[in-house]
Amino acid sequence: MVPYDVHGGSYTGTAYLPQTSDAGDLTGFGGSQGSYDISAGTLKARVDFLADDQLRLRAAPDGVLTDPAGSTIVRKQPEPQRDTSTFDAGAYYGIRSKGLVLRVYKHPLRFGLYKADDRTALWQESAPLRWSTGGLRQSLERGADEQFFGGGEQNGSFSHRDRTVHVANGTDWNEGGWNNSQPFYVSTAGYGVFRNTFTPGIYDFGSPVRTGQQERRLDAYYFTGDVKAVIGRYTDLVGKPFMPPVYGLEPGDADCYLHNANRGERHTPDALKVADGYVDHQMPLGWMLVNDGYGCGYENLAQTGTGLRRDHAQLGLWTQNGLPDQAEEVKAGVRVRKLDVAWVGNGYDFALNACDQAKAGIEDGSDARGFVWLPVSWAGAQRCGVLWSGDQSLSWDYIRWQIPTYAGATMSGIAYNTGDVGSIYRRDPAMYTRDLQWKAFLPAIMTMDGWARDMTGTQQRDQQPWLDGEPYTSINRKYLQLKERLLPYMYTLSAEAARTGVGAVRPLALEYPHDPNALGPNATYEFLAGPDFLVAPVYSDTAVRDGIYLPEGTWTDYWTGRTYQGPTTVNGYSAPLDTLPLFVRGGAIVPMWPKGTLSWENRDRSELDYDLYPKASGDSSYTLYEDDGVTRQYTAGSSATQQVDVHTGRAVTNIRIGASDGDYAAKPAERSYRLTVHGRPAPRLVATDAGPLPRRDSAAALDAAGSGWYHDAATGVTTVRTPSVPTGDGFSLNLVHGGN
């Protein structure tokens, strides 16, 4: 990459080329029906209003409005809308839609985007467009409290005010790197912008804000609304996050099994011994990559795939040199792809095309959903792949900076961004376990085997989660099994991401935009998994976690049941090795698979659990999404939703389990429900529409019974098991507290 100076010139090595020019006075303005042509000397610009709240601005100093990105990023260009008008305000022309006014200033030519009142600025150029031999930049006034997010994956940060962000191809896997960056950002002033380009750029979020790409043209789409709305409109344009297969949300494993010099002679079917190890240690495994592409091919592929499926895992391959045999590999059972940097390392359109190609290849040859990982990408990659942050070495600092990295990627519509559990190059039992704990709350995770050594760098170490013995094995099992039980919650968030563009892993600032502490140093190293779980990873060698910021509302410690009233900061939190600081939002309704679930495929479909954290008073609601988990039939409507409503009164907790609305293959005709109710007084009566349920004397008695309820006085938790109910029927459940 040749660095570009956003202050006006370009650099080549140490030589500065200050040959800059600015747009002069307006010399031409005209157009209608949503499309307008503007000129200032040789600079030509075009504005297309694509919706009441969205527009595209293009400009070129040579007067030629080209489109080098073509249809690779934006698959189908929106047509200009016709419902616009213009007016002359003296100092500027105004182009008005129902929601916006774009000001076109005359002396010199500058642009400003305002709300429909033509008084409230969303953004305002502080200077004319400027270009040099190295590129073109735009300068915007910065609001007093304006914040900026986006830029794709920016290693180590999620908020960019007063920071300079690189948007370019790169393979710096460490803090400060940007290998999965995107030419997009969103502002709390109420707008976002996508630069439709395959060239590098630098975005300086100082005052003024200066953004530029290494090309003498501007092609920018502006979206307006709050941050979530902008992410939605951006992903409408470049592609919504793909809907993964449910096994893609289970842990993955990767290694070279053919002629591996690190382990002596091995063969591809030896992968089955490792898959068996997950089963033997009662740890979920959703998929496995059985080669590494770097001279490690495969043999007996179909046999290996059959063996993996017996362990409820899917077969995957990675590649460094394209997909010449993809059709036959898919026929042999390949359902997962990893694209290596040796192939997609050139980034930009090359990586995006490869990602689209790999996903389509799986789907063209099967009824499965393509599941693709890649380490270098560009805008639009969310529609086809899991973005992986690259080859990294283990340290406490590595754990720290990955936390804001993945939360921040969500602000660019990236729903699946992750790193290797325990890194790729080093193995330390405590650090591995700490890393696995919090990554269990990322949608996609993988252990990368075959390259790691101990922290001295001398002893070869494998990376499976049981290899360090106790207490590490039991702790790792605890979190992997919890991840498996929470798959209905995470899968519903995946459906939400595919619909809205907003992924599961969120910085606090996304859900609490008016809380300044959500941008503070404490909130930087924690995140939300959906709206309901607040995760504060331990990223140092300690058993105490300080500086846990809890925003407004009631938060319940997942492990102890202790409640906190936010906003507050928790210091001195006891976090021994087996404890991830984890809090649940008051009002949360969390769907879970039954205890003991180790695979989506052989789970007990006759029971569904809901973990409930009622508000002190009032209502809360949740809608579960379900489909068959693996095919693409959901795109034709084969899916179901179930709404759960909780009303908390002084003496009664009312729970309404709605009918499961819709159908899909293998949908259970009926199921029972286990409801775990936190934070409410002991009930004297629990009843469904059919009448009271029997009270049981212990948790064991409740487990042994077909239905009933039990209140644990020590924890304050009431657990209810209902009889089996047709999924097409809804019902109510009342917990009556107090009285006679």
Is it the case that residue 17 has pLDDT exceeding 70? no
pLDDT digits (tens, 9 = 90+) for 319-356: 988 899 999 999 999 999 999 988 898 999 999 999 99
DSSP 127: S
What's the chain's average pLDDT? 95
Task: Give how far Cα 1 sits from Cα of 13, 110, 281, 303, 391, Å.
Answer: 11, 30, 47, 44, 20
Distance CA 84, CA 471 (A): 66
- Report the alpha-carbon distance of residue 187 to residue 556 in Å, rounded: 32
Q: What is the spatial distance between Cα 110 and Cα 59, in angstroms, rounded to a whole number?
A: 12
Q: What residue type is assigned to position 237 of the chain?
A: L
Domains of the chain: 10-224 (2.60.40.1760), 250-500 (3.20.20.80), 507-585 (2.60.40.1180), 608-737 (2.60.40.1180)
Copy the structure tokens of residue 400.
Answer: 């720290």
Two tokens, residue 227: 């941050």
Note the pTM of the prediction, 2 decimals.
0.96
Provide mean pLDDT across the span 718-723.
98
Rounded to 10 deg, the angle between the 429-439 and 396-409 helix axes is: 10
User: What are the pLDDT digits (tens) for 254-300?
Assistant: 999 998 767 778 999 999 999 999 999 999 999 999 998 888 899 99
- pLDDT at residue 265, rounded to an integer: 84
Question: How does pLDDT run across 622-660, given as a tens digit for each residue?
Answer: 999 999 999 999 999 999 999 999 999 989 999 999 999
What distance in Å separates the CA atoms of residue 657 and residue 649, rounded to the nearest whole number?
A: 17
Kindly tell me the sign of the dihedral angle through the C-alpha atoms of 156, 159, 162, 167. Answer: positive
The residues, ordered by sequence, that sit 6+ positions from 47 with a Cβ below 8 Å of its Cβ are 31, 35, 36, 38, 55, 56, 57, 58, 95, 102, 104
Q: 203 and 161 in contact (C-beta within 8 Å)?
A: no
- What is the structure's pLDDT at 740? 53
